[in-house]
Structure 1
Amino acid sequence: MASEITYAEVKFKNGSPAPVVKGPPETKKPEQRPQKYPLWLPWLISVLLLLVCIALVVALLDRGWTCCPKGWRRFQGSCYFLSPDTMSWDESAQNCTGMGSQLVVITSKAEQEFLSKQIRQSNESKAYNFYIGLFAEKGGQWHWVDKTPYNVTAAFWRKGEPNYLTGENCTVIHVPTKTLNNWNDISSSLDNHRICEAAAVIV
């Protein structure tokens, strides 16, 4: 059997209702998720990236960009022009000078490899020989046009060359040779292609 509930009305003398006592309002606390990283970390990363960018810009401005005239090929700090036409060695030297350059002076294996590759890649006309800036005085002493000392260990002569035949006092890169040793001494009066070299422009 269900129990009965009895209600009673309580009245005070002054007739005012009993004061209602209210507690503080309930506030919902926001859920706190654990932080995966400190708040200052994104700022630190941003500052570091900014510093890296500034360092790169300063390095590039200090070093500069190098460029070559149209039709010239760039390698390291130099520009190279492979002529489509032919001239004697003296005319070739003058032509290079007129373009603000000189017949090429080859001083390293890397430079020799670059030039040999460029000649083979662009040799559509099957050009045979290209003059370079190495010549011999009477007695067979070899010199570069810019007075760079001739170093026999950095020379790339074909087998049996130089053979110092009569009048062969200038040097060409002999294109048909498939190895890096493709220099040949030749008469300066013969018309051949040429390779001019100039310093790359820093901008």
Structure 2
Amino acid sequence: MAEDDVMYTDVKFNRPRAEDEAPGAEVVYSNVTMPRTKHPVCSKCAIDAQQAGQGIRSKVTTERVVLLVIIGILVVTIIALADKINSKLKMDTANSRLTCPPPPEAKNLTCLKCEARWEQHGGNCYYFSTSKSSWTDSRRSCTDLGSDLVKIDSREEQVFLIGRVRDLMKDNQDKFWIGLTDSKEEGKWLWMDGSALDQSLSFWNQTQPDNKSPAHSAEADCVRMGKKEKKGGSDDLKSWFDTSCKRPQKSICEKTAKLSSSV
């Protein structure tokens, strides 16, 4: 290790003269020489330190990005689970109020009720008309009853409806109108309230919709449901068929169940 000498030069100071001291006396501090250790400069060490710092910053940045991605996935998952739980709670609440228990338990309870000849499910009332008419006339009949052609909002509702329809069908062509049409714009399927069909909640039969009606007499702009045979599995739910709106069919009306106080 190299060493350098450090030289401190003479320094003179004047101080007050004592009474017995000659005038002009000065105090002189002599040269002092002290060795100083000279530390070598390591250029490779500086480069290594710089690269190490960059590596740490890069690692921290990558870990931060990964953490943000994980947090984002967790947030989306939590929101999806919350929606699913909320829907389940709503369905359970509705089902718990389907019918009033028989007396005396029913006394002073508020329950959901349907009128005579209407069937209750999930907080709604359904009327299965066995009179055959066009889609437009069927809808008019539902309106006269304070309802509309059915809108299917869930898999559970489809399960209920196809089960009831299958019991009422005489043959495989004895189907029921539902409130779904693309009469305003071909291929754009809308429910009666103006909402678009959710493709995740569609139950088209294989090859449907095909925009074909008997003898190709008209465009198939309205939807009927029904499947007499039962094979088991999810295919049993795929029971929607598009056909001419003028074709006479049975129909399903739907309206919200009303609160009623039992006595």
TM-score of the superposed pair, with normalisation by structure 2: 0.51
Q: Residues 109-134 of structure 1: CA distance to partner in whole angstroms, max 9, x if unpaired?
A: 000000011112344x4471100000
Query: What runs of 5+ residues in structure 1 fail to find an aligned partner?
Result: 1-56
Give the partner amino acid of 1:199: T
- Matching residue of 1:182: 239
Q: Deviations over 1:88-116 (max 9, x none)?
A: 00000100000000000001000000001
Residue 200 of structure 2 is matched in structure 1 by 153
Deviation string, structure 1 residues 8-65 (Cα, Å, up to 9, x no partner): xxxxxxxxxxxxxxxxxxxxxxxxxxxxxxxxxxxxxxxxxxxxxxxxx9xx85xx30
Question: Residue type matched to 2:121 in 1?
Answer: F
- Contact 2:119–2:126 (CA<8 Å) still a contact in 1? yes
Whether 1:89 and 2:97 are equivalent positions in the alignment is no
Query: Between Structure 1 and Structure 2, how many residues are aligned?
Result: 142
**Alpha-carbon separation, structure 2, partners of 1:164 and 1:197:** 26
* Cα distance in structure 2, aligned partners of 1:190 and 1:111: 25
Distance 1:201 1:81, change over 3 A: same
List structure 1 segments (4+ residues) > 6 angstroms apart after TM superposition. none
One-letter amino acid of the structure 1 residue matched with residue 250 of structure 2: H
Asked if structure 1 preserves the Cα contact closer than 8 Å seen for 2:188 and 2:196, the reply is no
Q: Is it true that 1:173 corresponds to 2:230 in the alignment?
A: no
Partner SS, residue 134 of structure 1: strand
What is the CA–CA distance in structure 1 between the aligned matches of 2:138 and 2:197, rounded to whole Å? 20
Compute the displacement of 1:74 (Å).
0.3
Quick one: which amino acid aligns to residue 245 of structure 2?
S
Task: Name structure 2 gaps, 5 residues minimum.
Answer: 1-104, 213-217, 231-235
1:164 positional shift = 1.7
Seen in structure 2, the aligned counterparts of structure 1 residues 180 and 118 have a Cα distance that, compared at 3 Å, is: same
Task: For 1:143 and 1:188, locate their aligned partners in 2 and report how far apart those are by CA, in whole Å.
Answer: 14
Question: Residues 175 and 224 of structure 2 are in contact (CA less than 8 Å); yes or no, is this contact kept in structure 1?
Answer: yes
Distance (Å, rounded) in 1 between the aligned partners of 2:237 and 2:180:
16
Counterpart CA distance in 2 for 1:115 and 1:177 is: 15
1:161-193, Cα deviation, whole Å (9 max, x unpaired): 001225100000033253100000010000000
User: Is the helix fraction higher in 1 or 2?
Assistant: 2
Partner of 1:133: 179
Change (3 A) 1:189 1:122: closer
Percent of residue pairs identical? 31
Q: CA RMSD in A?
A: 1.8
TM-score norm. by structure 1 comes to: 0.65
Amino acid at match of 1:171: V
Higher relative contact order (CA 8 A, sep 6+): 1
1:111 & 1:182 partners in 2: Cα distance?
A: 13
